[in-house]
Amino acid sequence: MFGSGRVESLGRVVRELSAQVAIVDGKLSPVQQRNLERAWQCKVIDRTGLILEIFGARARTREGRLQVDLAALEYQRSRLVRSWTHLERQRGGFGFTGGPGETQIEADRRQIAERIARLKKELGQLTRTRELHRSSRKKVPYPVVALVGYTNAGKSTLFNRLTDSDVIAKDMLFATLDPTMRGVTLPSGRRIILSDTVGFISDLPTTLIAAFRATLEEVVEADLVVHVRDASHPDSGQQRLDVLAVLSELGLSADSEDRMIEVFNKIDLLEAGKRSALKAKTNGDGHLAAVSALSGDGLEDLQHELDRSLSGSRSTLELEVSLSDGATLAWLYRNGDVLSREDVNGVARVTVGLDASNIARFHRRRETNELSLHQ
């Protein structure tokens, strides 16, 4: 990774600054990490180690902490090389004959393996609980809209704006680790569930993707994915590719882009000319939007866009509803697009557009009403 001359020159910088930690923006093998620590006489961590440190400081919920602990242990297991003398100690064997016993490194590996197995079991239970919640939402069901994007793109600020919530939203990496869900009413009156997710980053460690897979499955299962981009970031284009790469690894294929809206956020930080050009580019494009989650600029258009995108999968039904059943008629107006209505002989003949989830809800509603009438 570094030549001997570079190692020495960087070592001088470390000593001049009395640095306690040196961070290498790349992946270090255990041997490289050990050699650099010996040469520089300070702690050395690589990109994965730094991300794990940040994740560990940010995790709030039990699931979040378990996911971070699992990823950290998987990473730590690969670091257990014969680098330090204490790892070469041997514990005595049983009986009078002695024997080689168990080296410290073997004991550490065994303890880590046991803890990894325990964490996976606990996460498995939480995953099953999450699947039950997901299946319950499908029975309600409201469409799920997931916010995704590069870390610090403004997802949580946008989430707070749309839901009137107060989840942590700070100008720092990985402020959100634990998924949050809130109900939102769109301009049409349609109810949706909005999900805020962990931010992505380039070269996201595979151990983290694996640990957070249960959480990120919310994105894959979502009816609509909102990809939030930082329009003011000079490397916004590359960040977009990094996010799409992670989504692809999670199983969201390229042909799923028809259920994705790309939102250019932080347009308040752009110059007036660039802001106008971006708004003109996104105007009329059903898969693009330009907003400022901080000031609220463009949020109304985004809400209408969410409405339109979710209506794209609607089917048109012709229904007959008794005029005495005002609750069902009100439900159709609230959850569907009533295209026409004709009242004849106490019956309302309604042509209405409903998406698949609301069609299922309507049929269940009718079955429940019929059952109560028979009783």
pLDDT digits (tens, 9 = 90+) for 214-239: 567 667 778 888 999 999 999 999 98
Regarding the domain with residue range 142-311, which homologous superfamily does it belong to in the CATH classification? P-loop containing nucleotide triphosphate hydrolases (3.40.50.300)
* Residue from 282, 224, 215 nearest 250 by CA: 215
Contacting residues for 320 by C-beta, under 8 A, at least 6 apart: 347, 348, 349, 350
pLDDT at residue 89, rounded to an integer: 46
345 in Cβ contact with 321 (< 8 Å): no
pLDDT at residue 95, rounded to an integer: 42
In the chain, domain spans: 21-84+102-134, 142-311, 315-374
Sign of the dihedral defined by the CA atoms of residues 252, 256, 259, 261, in that order:
positive
pLDDT at residue 10, rounded to an integer: 95
Return the amino acid letter for 314: R
321 in Cβ contact with 348 (< 8 Å): yes
Cβ neighbours around 136 below 10 Å, total? 10
* Residue from 243, 211, 144, 218 nearest 184 by CA: 144
Cα separation of 133 and 122, whole Å? 17
pLDDT at residue 139, rounded to an integer: 53
Measured between its terminal Cα atoms, the distance across the chain in Å is 77
* Residue from 74, 346, 9 nearest 208 by CA: 74
The pair of structure tokens assigned to 302 is: 């985004």
22 in Cβ contact with 49 (< 8 Å): no
Contacting residues for 46 by C-beta, under 8 A, at least 6 apart: 23, 24, 26, 27, 28, 33
Low-confidence ranges of the chain (pLDDT < 70): 58, 60-61, 80-104, 130-131, 133-141, 166-179, 202-215, 217-218, 253-258, 286, 312-314, 368-375
pLDDT at residue 134, rounded to an integer: 59
Same fold, 142-311 and 315-374: no
322 in Cβ contact with 335 (< 8 Å): no
Phi and psi at residue 252, in whole multiples of 5°? -90, 100
pLDDT digits (tens, 9 = 90+) for 315-356: 778 888 888 888 888 888 877 777 788 998 889 998 887 877
Fold held by 315-374: Alpha-Beta Plaits (3.30.70)
- As a residue count, the chain comes to 375
* Residue from 142, 126, 131 nearest 182 by CA: 142
Phi and psi at residue 179, in whole multiples of 5°? -65, 140
Domain 21-84+102-134 matching CATH 2.30.30: the answer reads no
pLDDT at residue 283, rounded to an integer: 79
Cβ neighbours around 146 below 10 Å, total? 25
pLDDT at residue 287, rounded to an integer: 84
145 in Cβ contact with 195 (< 8 Å): yes
pLDDT at residue 327, rounded to an integer: 86
Contacting residues for 36 by C-beta, under 8 A, at least 6 apart: 2, 7, 22, 24, 28, 44
pLDDT at residue 50, rounded to an integer: 86
Sequence-ordered alpha helix ranges (H) in the chain: 4-17, 30-40, 47-58, 62-79, 104-139, 155-163, 206-211, 213-221, 236-250, 272-282, 299-311, 326-335, 356-374
Specify the pairing of strand 191-196 against strand 180-185.
antiparallel
Return the amino acid letter for 166: D
Return the amino acid letter for 289: A
